[in-house]
Amino acid sequence: MVARVNSGDRLFQGILAGTAATIPLLALGIISLLLVSSLLVLDKTGLYFFVRKEWDPVREQFGALAFAYGTLMTSFIALVVAAPGGIGIALAITEFSPPRVREWAAWIVETLAAVPSVIFGLWGLFVLVPFLHRYVEPALRLFPGQPFFVGPGTGLCLFTAGLVVAIMILPTIMAICREVFNAVPISQRESALALGSTRWEAVRLAVLGPSMPGIIGAVILGMGRALGETMAVTMVIGNDPQIRANLLAPADSLASAIANQFTEATSDMHLSALTALGFLLFGITMVLNVVARVLVWMATRRMRLAAVK
C-alpha cells in the first residue's frame, strides 16, 4: 500500500515538473521563432536596426528606435500616473474607508479590468482627446522654457496614450495592492497605534513597509500590460514614428506598429522588420521584468535582515 502511494506521488511530481518545464520551453520557442523570422532584416542592417530611427517600407529602410521610444515613454507616463493612484486607492479602501464603502469601491475599480482595450481606445479617441486638446494642452503650454509641452497639438499624442494606458492598468495595481494590504495582520497596526503612532504613521510603518515587495510586484504586472498594450494605444498615439521630447506630439509604439502594418506588409523584408519589432518588444519586457524581480528580491532581503536585527 505504501509503495502504491509513493509511486503515485512520484508520478504526480513528474507531471508537475513536466508541466512547469513547458513554461521556459515555450518562452525559448517564442524567442527562437521571432529571431529566425527576423534574420532577413538583421542580416541586412545588423544590430544597427535597433538604434536606427528611419522607417520607410518603400525603400526598405527599417529602424526600431522610434517605436521603442514610443513604447517606453507611453509605459513610463502610465506608471507615473497609475502607480501612485493605484496604491493610494488601495490604501484608502483598506485602511480609511467604512466596510460597506470598501466592497463597493473595490468592485467598481476592479470592474474596469474587465473592459476590453478597444473600448478604452474609443473612449480615449472621442472623449479624452477632445478634452485634452481643448482644455489641458493649452494649460500645459503656459509653462515657458520646457520642451515637453510645446507647440500646437491635435490630442493624438504620447501624453494621451500614456493617460489611457494608465487608466487601463490602474485596476491591476489597485487590486493586487489591496490584497497585499489585507494580508498584513491587524496586530501590526494595533501595535503601532499602541506605541503612540498616529493613524498615518501606523499605516506607513506597519502596512506600507512590510507590503513593499507586493507593491513592487503589482507595479511589475501593471508595467507588463502597459508595454504590450496595442489597440487603445494605436487609436490615440497618432502613429507617427518620430522621437521628440514634446509629449504633445504624435508618436508610435512597437505593438501599434505591428498591428497597423502586419496585414499590409507585402515584402519579405517588411515582414521580417515587423517580426524584429516583436522580438525587441519581447526582449524589453523580459529585461524590465528581470530588473523588477531583482528589486523585489532586494526589498525582501532588506526586510528580512531588518527583522533579524
Q: Is residue 79 part of a domain?
A: yes
pLDDT of res. 136: 86
Q: Is residue 12 part of a domain?
A: no
pLDDT of res. 82: 93
Number of separate domains in the chain: 1
Cell of 36: 529566425
SS3 string, the chain, reads CHHHHHHHHHHHHHHHHHHHHHHHHHHHHHHHHHHHHHHHHHHHHHHHHHHCCCCECCCCECCCHHHHHHHHHHHHHHHHHHHHHHHHHHHHHHHHCCHHHHHHHHHHHHHHHHCCHHHHHHHHHHHHHHHHHHHHHHHHCCCCCCCCCCCCCCCCCHHHHHHHHHHHHHHHHHHHHHHHHHHCCHHHHHHHHHCCCCHHHHHHHHHHCCCHHHHHHHHHHHHHHHHHCCHHHHHHCECCCCCCCCCCCCECCHHHHHHHHCCCCCCHHHHHHHHHHHHHHHHHHHHHHHHHHHHHHHHHHHHHHHHHC
Q: Cβ neighbours of residue 276 under 8 Å, at least 6 residues apart?
A: 34, 37, 38, 41, 42, 49, 62, 64
Q: CATH no. for residue 80?
A: 1.10.3720.10
pLDDT of res. 2: 46
pLDDT of res. 292: 75
Q: Is residue 117 part of a domain?
A: yes
Q: Cβ neighbours of residue 189 under 8 Å, at least 6 residues apart?
A: 202, 203, 206, 207
CA distance 137 to 44: 42
pLDDT of res. 299: 67
Q: Is residue 102 part of a domain?
A: yes
Q: Is residue 74 part of a domain?
A: yes
Check: CB of residue 52 under 8 Å from CB of residue 62.
Answer: yes
pLDDT of res. 84: 93
Kindly report the backbone phi and psi dihedral angles of residue 93, in degrees, each rounded to the nearest multiple of 5, phi listed first. -70, -45
Q: Is residue 67 part of a domain?
A: yes
Give the range of the structural domain holding residue 109, as residue numbers without chain letter. Answer: 40-308
Q: Is residue 119 part of a domain?
A: yes
Q: Cβ neighbours of residue 172 under 8 Å, at least 6 residues apart?
A: 86, 113, 218, 221, 222, 225
Q: Any bridge partners for residue 37, and if so which? A: none
pLDDT of res. 306: 58
Kindly report the backbone phi and psi dihedral angles of residue 56, in degrees, each rounded to the nearest multiple of 5, phi listed first. -135, 95
Cell of 289: 521584468
Q: Any bridge partners for residue 251, and if so which? A: 238
CA distance 75 to 227: 6
pLDDT of res. 205: 84
Kindly report the backbone phi and psi dihedral angles of residue 251, in degrees, each rounded to the nearest multiple of 5, phi listed first. -150, -165
pLDDT of res. 146: 80
Q: Is residue 7 part of a domain?
A: no
CA distance 189 to 210: 11
Chunked into runs of 10 residues, the chain (309 residues) has average pLDDT values of 63 85 87 90 88 88 92 93 92 84 79 85 92 87 80 86 93 87 84 84 85 85 85 90 89 91 87 92 85 73 62
